[in-house]
Amino acid sequence: MKVAIIGTGYVGLTTGVCLADLGHQVVCVDNDPAKLALLQQHRAPIFEPGIEALIAKNAEAGRLTFSAEIVPAVRQSDVIFICVNTPPKADGTADLKYVEQVARETAKALNGGYKVIVDKSTVPVTTAEKVRETIERYKTEHTTFDVVSNPEFLREGSALHDTFEPDRIVIGADSERGKRVMLELYRPLIEKIHAPVKIVSVRSAELIKHGANTFLAAKISFANLIAELCEHSQADSREVLEAIGIDPRIGRQFLSPGIGFGGSCFPKDIAAFKKTLETAGIDPAFVRAIEQINDRAWRRFVSRLEQELWVIDGKTIGVLGLSFKPNTDDIRNAPALKIIEKLKADGARLKVYDPQAMGKVKQLFTDVEYCHDPYQVAKGSQALVLCTEWEEFKTLDFKKIKAQMATPLIFDGRNALNPAELTALGFRYVGVGR
Ligand code: UDX
Ligand code: UDX
């Protein structure tokens, strides 16, 4: 099939590359010239394991192209995916201006035949209806079309795996024709790996995505709540949560306490979900509590560090990990950045390192020292703060680290290190919820 992807960010690029790899003819459109220039050289503007090789493979096979032109992309395609960003406004409402803009541009490009327009961006319930109305209003030639909702559940860092082996494919379609086209598009996944398909109404599909992300965020906040109580009562949250999670009705995943969730999705999606509830006149206290606990997670961590060091002003603190989680260079809403801001405001001198996200962070702070490895971070530091559990931090030579540090203090914001081993080496180790 012929597919256009409008918006080639994390979601759009992954979707486009994977659909091309399944054998479809895909054109990825983006209005960012710098991004396009990289993509046209078969280079990925994001760090996502495996994606660059897959871009090259499919582009060289002639199945994947990149363009700035939305009109020809829409005209040549059967299916048009809207994958532009939906950032939060100041009050948490999802800003749909890019979605609306793409809907208008798509409408003007329509010149007959039948098209399926797919909302892939995470959007509040009833957005697809607005997209349909917008296209009706702005189209100039008779074209039949359906607007379908097809939310993505991919995680950054394992985006290709999540797309090729999805837990489920959700297709929100209110017409038989739209449904058939989407099933045909995903046929290779449905037939080869038996990906479970949920065919639902458009509105249900829109709610599934917000509901799923709110639930996952709730699990993390629950874990952080238990961690708070464990710190207070000297219990070990990992023991508590592991035993709780053994119950299959609860499940062990997404119950790791830490410095809180970040990223481009959870904070934005739960804020938008909260707004949707408010608009519907439903008390959003549940969602508000998730946000409040998440905010307390990193603040509590910093105040424990402040208690430990007594005075932060003038101290050198090393930060390991800047991205919002490992295996990505994405720093959107990364807890590490909030911790850095707070420690800077308290007068600390900061030395930082991340395997992938340094380039992006350099654009934010000019007054921190960027180091080329964790050992350089450790040099002269009075405390090391681990904010992202990259694999390479777990296998550091901690003897060497200790020799470099001014005082051997480790704050492990992700419970990723081995406290017994570090204590045996003479470190003072502080984790979360233990
Ligand atoms: C975004 C949303 O944050 C997410 O909620 C949604 O599910 C999918 O889109 P992501 O792919 O991470 O996720 O966003 P981003 O990396 O910002 O990519 C959006 C892309 O759209 C950018 O490359 C941007 O240049 C492009 N864009 C945006 C357009 O091409 N046209 C526009 O009008 C606006
Ligand atoms: C998330 C959803 O998992 C995915 O299904 C959706 O499509 C997009 O949003 P992503 O933002 O890539 O994906 O990251 P995810 O792996 O979910 O982690 C989000 C944040 O939660 C990270 O900051 C991570 O460190 C944190 N987290 C995760 C915890 O603090 N504890 C956990 O137990 C799990």
Q: Find out whether the beta carbon of 326 lies less than 6 Å from any atom of ligand 2.
A: no
Domain final residue pick, 153, 180, 200: 200
Q: Find out whether the beta carbon of 153 lies less than 6 Å from any atom of ligand 2.
A: yes
Q: Based on the fold, state whether residues 330 and 417 are members of the same structural domain.
A: yes
The SS3 call for residue 51 is helix
Ligand with an atom nearest the CA of residue 272:
1
For residue 407, say whether it is annotated as part of any ligand binding site. Answer: no
Q: Find out whether the beta carbon of 145 lies less than 6 Å from any atom of ligand 2.
A: no
Q: Find out whether the beta carbon of 413 lies less than 6 Å from any atom of ligand 2.
A: no
Q: State yes or no: is 230 an active-site residue.
A: no
Does 351 map to a domain? yes
Does 68 map to a domain? yes
Domain final residue pick, 165, 181, 200: 200
Query: What's the structural domain count of the chain?
Result: 2
Give pLDDT, residue 252: 96
- What is the C-alpha to C-alpha distance for residues 83 and 81, in angstroms, rounded to an integer? 6
10 Å CB burial of residue 75 (0-12, 13-18, 19+) is middle
Q: Based on the fold, state whether residues 88 and 178 are members of the same structural domain.
A: yes
- What is the C-alpha to C-alpha distance for residues 336 and 77, in angstroms, rounded to an integer? 42
Active-site entry in 18, 265, 371, 387:
265
Q: Find out whether the beta carbon of 433 lies less than 6 Å from any atom of ligand 2.
A: no
**Closest residue CA from atom 13 of ligand 2:** 155
Cβ(34)–Cβ(110) below 8 Å: no
Q: Based on the fold, state whether residues 139 and 42 are members of the same structural domain.
A: yes
Q: Find out whether the beta carbon of 309 lies less than 6 Å from any atom of ligand 1.
A: no
Does 108 map to a domain? yes
Residues 6+ apart with CB under 8 A from 249: none
Q: What is the β-pairing status of strands 25-29 and 64-67?
A: parallel
Give pLDDT, residue 414: 98
Q: Based on the fold, state whether residues 85 and 180 are members of the same structural domain.
A: yes
**Closest residue CA from atom 12 of ligand 1:** 10
Q: Can you read off the two tokens belonging to residue 48? A: 């996502």
Taking the centre of ligand 2 as the mean of its atom positions, its distance from the CA of residue 172, in whole angstroms, is 24
Phi, psi of 244 (to 5 degrees): -65, -40
Give pLDDT, residue 144: 96
Residue 57, CA distances (Å) to 15, 52, 217, 263 in order: 15, 9, 36, 29
Does 251 map to a domain? no
Give pLDDT, residue 149: 98
Ligand with an atom nearest the CA of residue 7:
1
Amino acid at 201: S
CB atoms closer than 10 angstroms to residue 301: 27
CATH number for the domain that contains residue 117: 3.40.50.720
Does 261 map to a domain? no
Q: Find out whether the beta carbon of 328 lies less than 6 Å from any atom of ligand 1.
A: no
**Closest residue CA from atom 8 of ligand 1:** 121
Cβ(48)–Cβ(215) below 8 Å: no
Give pLDDT, residue 77: 97
- What confidence tens digit (pLDDT) does each residue in 283-338 have? 999 999 999 999 999 999 999 999 999 999 999 999 999 999 999 999 999 999 99
10 Å CB burial of residue 112 (0-12, 13-18, 19+) is exposed
Range of the domain at 331: 266-430
Choosing from 18, 46, 208, 324 the residue with most ligand 2 atoms within 8 A of its CB, the one to mutate for a pocket test is 324
Choosing from 84, 118, 153, 154 the residue with most ligand 1 atoms within 8 A of its CB, the one to mutate for a pocket test is 84
Does 218 map to a domain? no
Q: Which residue, chain included where needed, has tokens 């590490």?
A: 336
Taking the centre of ligand 2 as the mean of its atom positions, its distance from the CA of residue 264, in whole angstroms, is 9
Residue 133 — very low, low, confident or very high, per pLDDT cuts 50/70/90? very high
Domain final residue pick, 200, 229, 249: 200
Once rounded to an integer, what is the mean pLDDT over residues 180-198?
94
Q: Based on the fold, state whether residues 303 and 163 are members of the same structural domain.
A: no
Q: Based on the fold, state whether residues 192 and 324 are members of the same structural domain.
A: no
- What confidence tens digit (pLDDT) does each residue in 199-252 have? 999 999 999 999 999 999 999 999 999 999 999 999 999 999 999 999 999 999
Q: Based on the fold, state whether residues 30 and 170 are members of the same structural domain.
A: yes
- What is the C-alpha to C-alpha distance for residues 71 and 330, in angstroms, rounded to an integer? 30
For residue 343, say whether it is annotated as part of any ligand binding site. Answer: no
Give pLDDT, residue 82: 98
Q: Find out whether the beta carbon of 216 lies less than 6 Å from any atom of ligand 2.
A: yes
- What is the C-alpha to C-alpha distance for residues 386 and 390, in angstroms, rounded to an integer? 9
Distance of CA 398 to the CA centre of its chain: 31
Report H helices in 6-81: 10-21, 33-40, 51-60, 70-76
- What confidence tens digit (pLDDT) does each residue in 79-107 have? 999 999 999 999 989 999 999 999 999 99
Does 397 map to a domain? yes
For residue 258, say whether it is annotated as part of any ligand binding site. Answer: yes
Mean pLDDT score across all residues of the chain: 97
Q: Based on the fold, state whether residues 275 and 408 are members of the same structural domain.
A: yes
Once rounded to an integer, what is the mean pLDDT over residues 387-411?
98
Q: Based on the fold, state whether residues 193 and 276 are members of the same structural domain.
A: no
Taking the centre of ligand 2 as the mean of its atom positions, its distance from the CA of residue 280, in whole angstroms, is 27
Does 59 map to a domain? yes
DSSP-assigned states of every residue in 91-110: TS-B--HHHHHHHHHHHHH-
Ligand with an atom nearest the CA of residue 261:
2
**Closest residue CA from atom 28 of ligand 2:** 254
DSSP-assigned states of every residue in 236-302: -HHHHHHHHHHSTTT-STT---SS---SSSHHHHHHHHHHHHHHTT---HHHHHHHHHHHHHHHHHH
- What confidence tens digit (pLDDT) does each residue in 329-368 have? 999 999 999 999 999 999 999 999 999 999 999 999 999 9
Q: Based on the fold, state whether residues 295 and 181 are members of the same structural domain.
A: no
Taking the centre of ligand 2 as the mean of its atom positions, its distance from the CA of residue 248, in whole angstroms, is 20
Taking the centre of ligand 2 as the mean of its atom positions, its distance from the CA of residue 165, in whole angstroms, is 18
For the chain, give the percent of residues with pLDDT over 70. 100
